[in-house]
Amino acid sequence: MTFRAEERKTIARAGFGVVLLGLLSGTAVAGDTLKLRELSPNGADACFGRVYDAAHLKAHPKQKVARIFFYYGHDPVSRPNEEPTANADTSYNGFLSTTVRGAKAPEWAGGWCNHESEDGTSGPIRCGMDCDRTLASLKVDDKGRLLLSDLSSDIYLDPDSEEQLGKAEYNRQALGSEDDNFRLDPMPAATCKAEFARIDPIDPALGDPLRVRLKPDQPFCYGRDYDTAHMSSHPNQLTQSIRVFRGPVELASFASSGDAANWPDGADIAISVTTRKNETKVTQTYSCQGEADQWRCAASSKMSDFACDIAQKEIYLKRGANGMMMLANPNSSLAIVDLCSKAADGRTKSDDKVYRLEPMPQSACAP
Structural domain including 274 reads: 210-365
**In this structure, are 264 and 358 located in the same domain?**
yes
**In this structure, are 62 and 159 located in the same domain?**
yes
pLDDT, average across residues 213-230: 97
Distance CA 8, CA 29 (A): 23
| Percent above pLDDT 70 for the chain | 87
> What pLDDT, on a 0 to 100 scale, did the predictor assign at position 35?
83
Pick from 245, 242, 221: nearest CA to 231: 242
pTM passes above 0.75: no
Give 169's contacts (C-beta < 8 A, 6+ positions apart).
none
Task: Print burial letters for 204-232: b (CB count within 10 Å at least 16), e (below 16).
Answer: eebbebbbeebebeeebbbbbebeeeeee
**In this structure, are 160 and 185 located in the same domain?**
yes
pLDDT above 80 for 30: no
Mean pLDDT over all residues of the chain? Answer: 86
**In this structure, are 166 and 281 located in the same domain?**
no
Distance CA 230, CA 333 (A): 22
Question: Is-contact 226 240, C-beta < 8 A?
Answer: yes
For 47, counting Cβ atoms within 10 Å of its Cβ (0-12 exposed, 13-18 middle, 19+ buried), the class is buried
**In this structure, are 150 and 264 located in the same domain?**
no
For strand 220-225 and strand 239-246, is the pairing parallel, antiparallel, or unpaired?
antiparallel
**In this structure, are 229 and 338 located in the same domain?**
yes
Q: Which residue has the higher pLDDT, 306 or 18?
A: 306
Query: Which of 173, 202, 231 is where one domain is finished?
Result: 202
**In this structure, are 162 and 227 located in the same domain?**
no
The mean-pLDDT minimum among 114-128, 175-189, 342-356 falls in: 114-128
Paired strand residues for 318: 326
Pick from 296, 86, 110: nearest CA to 196: 110
Q: How many domains does the chain have?
A: 2
- Is the peptide bond preceding residue 209 cis, with omega within 30 degrees of 0? no
**In this structure, are 186 and 278 located in the same domain?**
no
Phi-psi region of 203 (alpha: psi -120 to 50; beta: other; left: phi over 0): beta
A 10 A CB-CB count for 305 gives 5
Query: Which of 202, 233, 262 is where one domain is finished?
Result: 202
Query: Which of 160, 177, 202 is where one domain is finished?
Result: 202
Q: What are phi and psi of 257, to 5 degrees?
A: -130, -5
**In this structure, are 186 and 220 located in the same domain?**
no
**In this structure, are 192 and 240 located in the same domain?**
no
Name the pLDDT band for 25 (thresholds 50, 70, 90).
Answer: very low
Q: Which residue has the higher pLDDT, 25 or 319?
A: 319
pLDDT digit string (tens) for 31-55?
Answer: 444 689 899 999 899 999 999 999 9
Name the pLDDT band for 13 (thresholds 50, 70, 90).
Answer: very low
CATH number at 313 reads: 2.40.128
**In this structure, are 172 and 53 located in the same domain?**
yes
What's the 3-state SS for the chain?
A: CCCCHHHHHHHHHHHHHHHHHHHHHCCCCHHHCCCCCCCCCCCCCEEEEEECCHHHHHHCCCCCEEEEEEEECCCCCCCCCCCCHHHHHHCCCEEEEEEECCCCCCEEEEEEEEECCCCCCCCCEEEECHHHCEEEEEEECCCCCEEEECCCCCCCCCCCHHHHHCHHHHHHHCCCCCCCCEEEEEECHHHHHHHHHCCCCCCHHHCCCHHHHCCCCCCEEEEEECCHHHHHHCCCCCEEEEEEEECHHHHHHHHHHCCHHHCCCCEEEEEEEEECCCCCCEEEEEEEEEECCEEEEEECCCCCCCCCCCCCCEEEEEECHHHCEEEECCCCCCCCCCCCCHHHCCCCCCCCCEEEEEECCHHHHCC
For strand 267-275 and strand 314-319, is the pairing parallel, antiparallel, or unpaired?
unpaired
Name the pLDDT band for 18 (thresholds 50, 70, 90).
Answer: very low
pLDDT above 50 for 12: no
> What pLDDT, on a 0 to 100 scale, did the predictor assign at position 234?
96
Pick from 204, 216, 205, 203: nearest CA to 290: 216
**In this structure, are 197 and 214 located in the same domain?**
no
